[in-house]
Chain A
């Protein structure tokens, strides 16, 4: 059974830092591109960042570029998101998601999601 379990959320002051982790199990983690997606309270889904299976390709949404760093450790079946210079608008539930295997070019979707971890940025 595929499982994604996020951890590391909490309350942090503006300008502070926080590191999130996502522990993966039930599949060959090293074969999949992984993503972070967030959802502000009462709002919609927002894609944050992605990292390819071998960490060669990394992308960020513009609002976090230069502040957040995505990484992974395939030996530990883990995905990470280091968040620095946090702002109030970063307050959200952060989900770890697995990118599904595309059977057609340019088909990108998330077939498994974690339960999410809440990050609250407030003084």
Chain B
């Protein structure tokens, strides 16, 4: 079955750029999206279709996807961005949704 791999944790200083990666076989041939989940809350879509931002999501969130890696970039990271981030793609071969294991972003 198709798998997406994320680092368990990433740390960043306030105001710096955070990069959260998601790897999978030929992931660049699929569309990736990203969710932010703050403690005790439901997930929120922050990037879809590799690079698109839903309305209401700050411009500091951006995405890219090429080769085997999709990347969520948070520019000028703020304390409010501290959360778990999950990548997600669709495996066309099995018609199943696949999530990465999640990355805990710490802003310190």
Contacts and interface: CB of A to CB of B under 8 A. Distances in A.
Contacts of B31: 104, 106-109
B55 to A, nearest CB: 10
A27 interface: no
Nearest to A107: B31
B96 A61 contact: yes
Contacts of B108: none
A50 interface: yes
B95 to A, nearest CB: 6
A47 B42 contact: no
A111 B45 contact: yes
* Interface secondary structure of B, over-half rule: strand
Contact of B43 (A45, A50, A100, A103): A45
B61 interface: no
A50 B96 CA distance: 9
A47 B98 contact: yes
Interface in B14-46: 30-31, 33, 35, 37, 42-45
A104 B49 contact: yes
A41 to B, nearest CB: 12
A62 B43 CA distance: 23
Contact of B99 (A46, A50, A102, A115): A46
Contacts of B37: 45
A59 B92 CA distance: 12
Contacts of A113: 42-44
Contacts of A62: 1
Given A46-B99, A50-B97, A95 B90 contact: no
Interface of B: 1, 30-31, 33, 35, 37, 42-45, 48-49, 54, 84, 86, 88-90, 92, 95-102
Interface of A: 35, 37, 44-47, 50, 59, 61-62, 95, 100, 102-104, 106-111, 113-116
14 contacts: A44-B99, A44-B102, A45-B35, A45-B102, A50-B97, A59-B96, A95-B43, A100-B45, A104-B31, A104-B49, A106-B90, A108-B97, A109-B33, A110-B45
